[in-house]
Copies of this chain bind each other. A is one copy, B any other.
Amino acid sequence: MPKIVDHEKRKIKIAEATWKVIVDEGLEQATVRKIAKVADMSVGSLRHYFSTQSELFAFSMKLVSDRVRNRAENKYYDGPPLESMQELLSEFLPIDEERRIEMEVWMVFSSKTLVDPNLKALSQEVYDEMHRASKMVVEGLIESGLASQALNKSLEIERLYALIDGMALHGILHPDRFSVEKMQTTLKYHLKALCN
């Protein structure tokens, strides 16, 4: 079905152009006209794929979570448990240019979820998904005997999840203050602290 593939490819190309405009110039500049220009197509053809800006934004935001999820799911975790968990959680941190762009875009869209119901639903889905990932890590540490049964599981999940998102935020907004190395060391320190 080459036509369907092409259709999806074009949508992704438009979404990536949207990311680029957001990262370079900010969300206010992300008009359909400018995005079409960056995607090298006419406003008319763009409208063929997305009839409203809100639809385009929702797809562009979803592309971030799809990419992150795919990477996290398709990675082969074969190291010791603590290292595997560090690797998994690092997928949610801006540890390289690709992830930094994705998370910057995610952050910009997140601040828009407060006033755009279309984006809000996706934001909540991803919140729940990330919450489950944090749960998996905390339960994994306990079940493997690395962390104590006596931990307060529910609070450890909230703590881990908030720590990850806080580090991502600091890494995006203040890469000169909070380097990738600091991010990784702090995460490692936290996981080890759970195992004391």
Residues in chain A within 8 A of chain B (CB atoms): 23-28, 104, 107-108, 110-116, 123-124, 127-128, 131, 152, 155, 158-159, 161-167, 169-170, 172-174, 177-178, 182, 185-186, 189-190, 193
Q: What chain B residues lie within 8 Å of A173 (beta carbons)? A: 110, 113-114, 123, 127
- Chain B nearest Cβ from A3, distance in angstroms: 35
- Chain B nearest Cβ from A142, distance in angstroms: 15
Q: What chain B residues lie within 8 Å of A166 (beta carbons)? A: 161-167, 169
Interface of A is mostly: helix
The contact of A24 among B107, B115, B177, by CB within 8 Å, is B115
Cross-chain contact A159 with B169 (CB below 8 angstroms): no
The contact of A163 among B25, B26, B152, B159, by CB within 8 Å, is B159
Pairs of residues from A and B, 8 with the lowest C-beta to C-beta distance, nearest first: A166-B166, A162-B166, A26-B115, A165-B166, A162-B167, A111-B111, A155-B189, A158-B186
The contact of A111 among B107, B123, B186, by CB within 8 Å, is B107
Closest to A156 in B: B189
- Chain B nearest Cβ from A22, distance in angstroms: 9
